[in-house]
Amino acid sequence: MKAMRLEKPREIEQNPLQWQELPAPKPGPGEVRLKVNVCGICHTDLHTVEGELNLPRLPITPGHQIVGRIDLVGEDVKFLKTGQRVGVGWLNSTCGNCDYCRNGQENLCPEAKFTGLHKDGGYGEYIVVDENFAFELPEALTDEEASPLLCAGIIGFRSLRLSGIRPGGRLGLYGFGASAHLAIQIARYWDCSVYVFTRSTEHQQHALELGAEWVGQAQEMPPVHLDASVTFAPVGWIIPLALGHLRPGGTLAINAIHMSPIPQFDYEKIYGERMLRSVANFTRQDALEFLNLAGQISIRTSLELYPLREANQALQLLKDSQIRGAAVLQHRINI
């Protein structure tokens, strides 16, 4: 099979992903193999190829917003069948036995494995995954439209829930890329007023098109104090500013697997029972609930499509904030 493979982390400007021919993987017990049709691009992929995450193995094939069809099943597969279209996200497997798994917090399982980090991901022609971590997708969505839902969408949904935003509330979103442009659609469905902070004028216009009440930059004070906020930009200096925009009792959720250092800030930024919390991964329950909701409300995914061979170039555009919505790699163009 063909894949864009990472042998050694480097800056994306150095084109660290290399086009290679590899043996096709075979599913083990309880696993299925997918022939990948598309794979969305995520900031986590960029953190992976540039070495900002601890990489448990090299070489590795990145990618964890995968849509494909099952072409081979392993022994003891109970639920899925060949020919089914399914999606695979960041969470690839968990132990199922620890306190976190038993308490509905499998996203925190110390034995969790992640797609494109521990296991080869969707920048390759085939992947294998535990059948319990492959999800049926809304039929109304194309492969390309469904792909960003599998990380950007699910983690954005979890972030909204952890922020504590309630229907009709005032929500802040910091950064407006793949995840935020899906999260705003959920928030508007919940009748929330959404205030978007992004430096890109194109992203500001995109936010207004999707129903934002107000757009500006993180350094600007919004016209009202916010009930809850989510930061998507992996830059620590935004955190004190975002806390300053919250009302007493509000929550700021950080949606980032990697972030630059958060600067020291005065206690008054968090006084008044303001809460600061991180968002780590997602659970299968998050995925099931979000994908069901996405099918109900017909979430619109803004897409930029690239051939698989152009993964380095697409990641460079992502790094430079030049992607409007979500970027998706199409396999059939090259394979």
Average pLDDT of the residues in 174-191: 95
| Residues in the chain, total | 335
With cut-offs at 50, 70 and 90, classify the pLDDT of residue 334.
Answer: low
With cut-offs at 50, 70 and 90, classify the pLDDT of residue 321.
Answer: confident
Beta strands 303-307; 326-330: pairing state = parallel
User: Which amino acid is located at 89 in the chain?
Assistant: G
Mean pLDDT, rounded, of the chain: 95
Cis ω on the peptide bond leading into residue 59 (within 30° of 0)?
A: yes
Residue 116 reports pLDDT greater than 70: yes
In this structure, are residues 232 and 175 in contact, taking their beta carbons and an 8 Å threshold? yes
How big is the CA angle at 178 (ends 247 and 248), to the nearest 5 degrees?
5
Residue 292 reports pLDDT greater than 80: yes
Task: Give the count of beta carbons closer than 10 Å to the beta carbon of residue 248.
Answer: 9
Q: How high is the pLDDT of residue 80?
A: 94
Residue 29 reports pLDDT greater than 80: yes
With cut-offs at 50, 70 and 90, classify the pLDDT of residue 333.
Answer: low
User: Which tokens is 271 given?
Assistant: 């006084």
pTM above 0.85, yes or no: yes
Pick from 116, 105, 110, 178: which is nearest to 144 by CA?
A: 178
Q: What is the 3-state secondary structure (H, E, C) of 210-260?
A: CCCCEEECCCCCCCCCEEEEEECCCCCCHHHHHHHCEEEEEEEEEECCCCC
Pick from 4, 12, 19: which is nearest to 316 by CA?
A: 12
Q: How high is the pLDDT of residue 231?
A: 97
**CA 179/CA 119 separation, integer angstroms:** 23
Helix ranges (DSSP H) in the chain:
43-49, 99-102, 143-146, 152-163, 178-189, 201-209, 238-244, 284-297, 311-319
Residue 335 reports pLDDT greater than 80: no
Residue 241 reports pLDDT greater than 70: yes
Q: How distant, in Å, are the alpha carbons of 19, 142, 296, 324, 328 from that of 15?
A: 11, 29, 40, 22, 18
Average pLDDT of the residues in 66-70: 97
pLDDT in tens, 30-57: 999 999 999 999 999 999 999 999 999 9
Domain edges within the chain:
2-141+301-330, 153-279
- For the domain spanning 2-141+301-330, the CATH number is 3.90.180.10
**CA 291/CA 268 separation, integer angstroms:** 39
With cut-offs at 50, 70 and 90, classify the pLDDT of residue 300.
Answer: confident
pLDDT in tens, 154-174: 999 999 999 999 999 999 999
Mention every residue, 6+ apart, whose C-beta is less than 8 A from residue 99: none
- For the domain spanning 153-279, the CATH number is 3.40.50.720
